[in-house]
Amino acid sequence: MDGQGKQMRRKVLGAALLVAVAVLTPGVSARVWAGADRPTPSGLPVPRYVSLKFDEVNARAGPGDDHRLLWVYRVKGLPVQVVAETAEWRRICDPEGGLAWVHRRTTDGRRMVLNTRTAPAALRRSPKPDSHVVAFLAVRGMAALDRCKDGWCRVKADQVTGWAPTWALWGAADAPQCR
């Protein structure tokens, strides 16, 4: 299938995420850096999480405007994981497992998380399984990530702050999410 083939719609807090199914090209350029043991053009570690800065972000097959357009992300704030980078481009992994290149100006350093589970995630008053539930993060709901410790993450969504287990949130795990 090509990048202009089938499209799926998904809702994330009322915004539609438009994804075209595509075959990704492996390997891109000798200018690509990845891995925590090597310096990166940005000086930041890889992998790392960022979020999408705009409600429309082009996803490309390689690092440049001359590479084929694979799909368009249509969700401002969507958490993604940077798995490689050049000076101007970031190869990202999205919550659906898609890999694509986006321009660095379309990403934001603010950390967000996404509930990819099939049920709402309980947000608790403290990082304990028996703590009082203060709210629920909807399925496909996004929240701003404050911090994580001991398997729990403190998040804020719609003016409510609470703790959720790390396993319930995409964008909280340290390990690379796509290979």
Which residue matches tokens 């969507």?
Answer: 78
Exposed, middle or buried: residue 13 (CB in 10 Å: 0-12, 13-18, 19+)?
middle
CATH architecture, domain defined by 113-168: Roll (2.30)
CA–CA dist 63, 47 (Å, integer) = 17
Instruction: State the pTM of this model.
Output: 0.78
Q: How confident is the model at residue 37 (pLDDT cuts 50, 70, 90)?
A: low
> Same fold for the domain at 7-110 and the one at 113-168?
yes
pLDDT for res 23: 26
Gap between the Cα atoms of 18 and 20, Å rounded = 7
* Residue 84 to residue 86: CA distance in whole angstroms: 7
Q: Which residue has the higher pLDDT, 26 or 119?
A: 119
Query: pLDDT confidence of 30, banded at 50, 70, 90?
Result: very low
Q: Is the pLDDT of residue 27 over 90?
A: no
Domain coordinates in residue numbering, the chain: 7-110, 113-168
Place of tokens 């795990």: 173
Give Cα separations from 18 to 94, 104, 168 (angstroms). Answer: 12, 20, 23
The model's pLDDT over 89-112, given as tens digits with 9 standing for 90+, comes to 999 999 999 999 999 999 999 999
What CA–CA distances, in Å, run from 46 to 31, 41, 62, 71?
Answer: 15, 11, 18, 23
**Residue in this structure with the two tokens 């379309």, named with its chain if needed:** 106
Q: With pLDDT > 90 as the criterion, what percentage of the chain qualifies? A: 74
pLDDT of residue 6: 28
Confidence label for 13 from pLDDT (cuts 50, 70 and 90):
very low
pLDDT digits (tens, 9 = 90+) for 43-87: 999 999 999 999 999 999 999 999 999 999 999 999 999 999 999
Mean pLDDT of the chain, nearest integer: 83
Token pair listed for 26: 């492996």
Report the CATH number of the 7-110 domain: 2.30.30
- Assess whether pLDDT exceeds 90 at residue 3: no
pLDDT of residue 39: 82
CA dist 178 to 8, 16, 56, 75, 146, Å?
Answer: 20, 22, 22, 20, 23
Q: Report whether pLDDT(126) > 60.
A: yes
